[in-house]
Each structure stands twice: as structure tokens, then as C-alpha cells.
Amino acid sequence: MNFTRSDFPDGFLFAAATSAYQIEGHGFGGAGRTHWDDFAATPGNVLRGDHGAIACDHYHRYEDDLDLMEGMGLDAYRFSTSWARVLPEGRGQPNPQGLDFYDRLVDAMLERNLKPMATLYHWELPSTLADLGGWRNPDLPKWFADYTRVIMDRIGDRLYSVAPVNEPWCVGWLSHFLGQHAPGVRDIRATAHAMHHILCAHGRAVEVLRDLNISNVGAVCNFEYAHPATQSAADIKAAALYDGYYNRFFIGGLFKGAYPENVMQGLEPHMPKGWQDDFPLIGQKLDWLGLNYYTCKRISANTEAWPSHSEVEGPLDKTQMGWEIHPEGLHHFLTWVSQTHTGDLPLYVTENGMANPDVLATADTPRMDYLNQHLDAARRAIADGAPLKGYTFWSLLDNYEWALGYEKRFGLVHVDFETLERTPKASYHALSKALKA
Ligand code: IFM
């Protein structure tokens, strides 16, 4: 790598991120069925029908995986807890095996000096709640608060940080407008309801966390730089709208008590009743903001129904996801968000990384380049005043990349999905060397 720890401020945290459904193996330990199991069981939704029943078998191999992180010299581990593992029916009776698992997992992190950074919802909604309308149901935030209390009563005393929800854009827009993630809905009213309810759920969870005296509570949003496909007025307007519902809607709710005007021009008629009254709940004080950043998009106006635009291919080098590599976007969002929304609130890069079609013999150079370029952008953002306190790469392991199954490999550790054997890639060794230097 082209940096060492000493190029970052004292106390800067380096961490790895994963999520429950993507690595644990939801067939184990009494976990309940999730809407991802249902989505994957429906032909055409997920590549090869891949699902998370075994995934990386982290449920049984977590000690080895934590050893890998400790061996690498990381400071923290961003993991998520699964609602359906804790409460298999979504409400009611907890699963003792699930609570025991997260208890052991947190203790095992602390034994290795890894700071536990928890996320409470990384997309595996219990099927029983999906049956009730999922994120369209206005009672979901209340049930999420109940789940928050159950899991935090058990592990909340030992966490470094907590965020209720990972990437609300994916929960709302990707899953209910584009239909690419579970529950695979394509409906504007469902989208507006889900986008608002997920923020209400965040707020309800924050109330519970504060009530339990849990500190270092934040939020994690994803960001994509929106380029107009051309300099035409129509494309510029289209890119501003993409930027609105992707990058500004959720932090608008969290930090400004308002949603962007250009987004509300399309969504307002579909919002749940009384949505304007929920901002005090949504906008409670936070201790940090996490930014997940991977890529940029090129947006072109079209004549279809709102939002009346589509994505066109861009010229930059692309990852295995087909995502352009645009490190400048990370610098942009870190500096912009602190200047316009968060001030001196600590920021973390909570996800950043690339998928590459790795086989064990590959040199892993593209991933090292990607990490170098984005860490360079992060360093420049710090120099330009962004209060960035840590960087988390996605992901420790190759894992279940949702609708794209197991084909897209984001890990710094290779996983053989036949044998489940883990093999650190060259990027793992290079980052380890940089951190220990
Ligand atoms: O794998 C996902 C993760 O679940 C959320 N953020 C983006 C990653 C890569 O697509």
C-alpha cells in the first residue's frame, strides 16, 4: 500500500465490515426465515437462486474470522445482528441460541482487542413481518424498537458503537422502487412509505439506545456521486434528482428535519399520513455519521414517468460489479457532508471496497489500487477539514452479494464456497503490513 498508519491522525480506526445474512449461515442456530430467503426462492430474483442458508458459515467459524482480523492488525470490526436470528418471528419470543451467539461474538472481539461496531438492521427482515407489509407497515418502527431492546439488553454494554440501519436507500428505493432487492416491489407508494418508515425505525431505535444509556450511536448512509450524462439542462436536472433521493433524502431527514424539494415533487403525494410530524423522532442527536461509498453514476433524462431518468455507462475503469472507480467522490462526500449537514460530528467511512473476479492465483492488484486511491481521497478530505475518524473496508470475506449471489468477490480474504476454506488475498497482506508498519 502507499501509506502506513502514521499517515493518518492518532486514534484513526481501521476496520473490516460484514453483515449477518451475508456471512453467518441463516440455516443455523434457530434463526427465523427472512424475506431474503423468500426472495431467493423465487426464480429470477437471485443469480442461480443462491441464498444465505450456509453463506460463509461464520456462525460456526467466527473465531477463525476474528483471528484473521486480529492478525491483520485491525482496530475494529463492523458487524450486524440479524433481527430474524434474535426474534425468529420478528416479535415475541427471542431465540436463546441467537442471543448467545452475539454474546459470544462480542466477547470474542474484545478478547482480540477489536472494537465491536454493531449495526442492527442489514436487510434480513423476518418473513413474518414481510407478511404484514414489511417496511410499508407503519408499525415496523415500533417492532424494530422492540428488537433493538432485546438485542441491546444482551450485548449493548460492550459495544464501541451502534447504528440502527445500514444504507436506508437500499431498504427504501432499491428494494421498493427498483425491485432489485427483497421484497422485490416496484411501486412508488411502497417506496415513499418504506423510505420514511426506515427513518422512523432509526429514530425509535435511537430512543431505545439512549434509554439504555448506550453511547456512540450513529447512522450509516450510502452515497453515489451523480454526474449528468451530458451538460444539457435536462441531464443536469436529472442528476440533481438522483443526488436528491440517493444522497440527500436520508441525511436531510436525519440532520435537517426536511426532505429535498426536488424529491418531494415526485414522492409527496405518496408519503404516509402525518410524515411531517416525524422529524423530531428522526432527527435526534447522533454521535457520528457513517458513509458507505463505492462509485459514481451517469444520469440521463428520459421521457418516462417520474423520476424520468436512466443510468448510462461511464468511461472510467470498472469493478466486477460494473461500477466505475471514482475515488474523488469519496473526497467530495466527506467534505460536502461535514460542510453542509454534520459540522464537526465525527465521520467514518463505514464501507468501501471492490468486487473482483478473484481466483487464488490472482495478484489482487486492482483491489490494492482501489484501496490506495480511496484511502488517499480520505486523507485529502481530512487535510481539507473533514472530521474523519476511521475507515472500514468492505469486506473481510467474499460473501453473499445479495441478488448477485456468491459470484461477486468483495473480500480481502478469499472464500472457497465448496469447502468454506479462507485464504487471505494479497490485499489482506498488504493492508496488514501498512497497519503494522
Ligand atoms: O454487499 C453490500 C453490503 O451489503 C452493503 N453495501 C454495499 C455492499 C456491496 O454491494
Judged by DSSP in three states, 403 sits in helix
C-beta 398 within 6 A of ligand 1? no
Q: What pLDDT shows up at residue 200?
A: 99
Atom of ligand 1 nearest to the CA of 122: 4
The enclosing H or E element of 222 equals strand 218-228
**CA 261 distance to own-chain centroid:** 25
Atom of ligand 1 nearest to the CA of 166: 5
Mutation test residue for ligand 1: of 18, 24, 401, the one with most atoms within 8 Å of CB: 401
C-beta 401 within 6 A of ligand 1? yes
Assessment of whether the complete model's pTM goes beyond 0.95: yes
Mutation test residue for ligand 1: of 19, 36, 409, the one with most atoms within 8 Å of CB: 19
**Domain tally for the chain?**
1
Judged by DSSP in three states, 391 sits in strand
What are the φ/ψ torsions at residue 208 (nearest 5 degrees)? -65, -45
In this structure, the residue with its CA closest to atom 10 of ligand 1 is: 401
**CA 66 distance to own-chain centroid:** 20
- In sequence order, what are the residues at sequence separation of 6 or more whose Cβ sits closer than 8 angstroms to the Cβ of residue 282? 199, 200, 202, 203, 253, 254, 257
**Beta strands at 218-228 and 288-301: parallel, antiparallel or unpaired:** parallel
Q: How far is CA 291 from CA 336, 353, 412, 436, in A?
A: 12, 12, 20, 25
In DSSP terms, which residues pair with 301 in a beta bridge? 309
Contact 1, 433 (CB under 8 A): yes
In this structure, the residue with its CA closest to atom 1 of ligand 1 is: 401
C-beta 124 within 6 A of ligand 1? no
Q: Which of 62, 1, 20, 42 is nearest to 420 (CA)?
A: 62
- In sequence order, what are the residues at sequence separation of 6 or more whose Cβ sits closer than 8 angstroms to the Cβ of residue 289? 218, 219, 220, 221, 251, 254, 255, 337, 341, 342, 345, 346, 347, 348
Judged by DSSP in three states, 258 sits in coil
C-beta 167 within 6 A of ligand 1? yes
**Cα separation, 89 vs 394, whole angstroms:** 30
Instruction: Check residue 437 and report its DSSP letter.
Output: -
C-beta 292 within 6 A of ligand 1? yes
**Cα separation, 147 vs 82, whole angstroms:** 10
C-beta 394 within 6 A of ligand 1? yes
**Cα separation, 185 vs 311, whole angstroms:** 20
**Cα separation, 164 vs 121, whole angstroms:** 6
In this structure, the residue with its CA closest to atom 2 of ligand 1 is: 401
C-beta 351 within 6 A of ligand 1? yes
- In sequence order, what are the residues at sequence separation of 6 or more whose Cβ sits closer than 8 angstroms to the Cβ of residue 378? 330, 331, 334, 349, 388, 391
Mutation test residue for ligand 1: of 167, 352, 374, the one with most atoms within 8 Å of CB: 167
- In sequence order, what are the residues at sequence separation of 6 or more whose Cβ sits closer than 8 angstroms to the Cβ of residue 24? 31, 52, 55, 56, 57, 58, 59, 82, 85
Question: What's the 124 CA to ligand 1 centre distance in angstroms?
Answer: 13
Atom of ligand 1 nearest to the CA of 410: 9
From first to last of its 437 residues, the chain has per-residue pLDDT tens of: 999 999 999 999 999 999 999 999 999 999 999 999 999 999 999 999 999 999 999 999 999 999 999 999 999 999 999 999 999 999 999 999 999 999 999 999 999 999 999 999 999 999 999 999 999 999 999 999 999 999 999 999 999 999 999 999 999 999 999 999 999 999 999 999 999 999 999 999 999 999 999 999 999 999 999 999 999 999 999 999 999 999 999 999 999 999 999 999 999 999 999 999 999 999 999 999 999 999 999 999 999 999 999 999 999 999 999 999 999 999 999 999 999 999 999 999 999 999 999 888 778 999 999 999 999 999 999 999 999 999 999 999 999 999 999 999 999 999 999 999 999 999 999 999 999 99
Lookup: cell for 402: 445479495
Q: What pLDDT shows up at residue 114?
A: 99
**Cα separation, 241 vs 130, whole angstroms:** 29
Q: How far is CA 306 from CA 168, 177, 231, in A?
A: 20, 11, 20
Atom of ligand 1 nearest to the CA of 355: 9
Contact 336, 328 (CB under 8 A): no
Q: What pLDDT shows up at residue 324?
A: 98
Instruction: Check residue 111 and report its DSSP letter.
Output: H
Atom of ligand 1 nearest to the CA of 399: 1
Q: What pLDDT shows up at residue 358?
A: 84
| Residues with catalytic roles | 167, 351
Q: Which residue type is seen at 158?
A: R
The enclosing H or E element of 68 equals helix 58-72
What are the φ/ψ torsions at residue 97 (nearest 5 degrees)? -65, -35
Q: What pLDDT shows up at residue 11?
A: 98
Atom of ligand 1 nearest to the CA of 351: 6
Mutation test residue for ligand 1: of 356, 394, 407, 408, the one with most atoms within 8 Å of CB: 394
Instruction: Check residue 322 and report its DSSP letter.
Output: S
Lookup: cell for 87: 426474534
E-only strand ranges, 247-335? 288-301, 309-312
Domain hosting residue 382, numbered range: 5-436
Question: What's the 401 CA to ligand 1 centre distance in angstroms?
Answer: 7
Task: Check which CATH number belongs to the domain holding 125 and give it.
Answer: 3.20.20.80
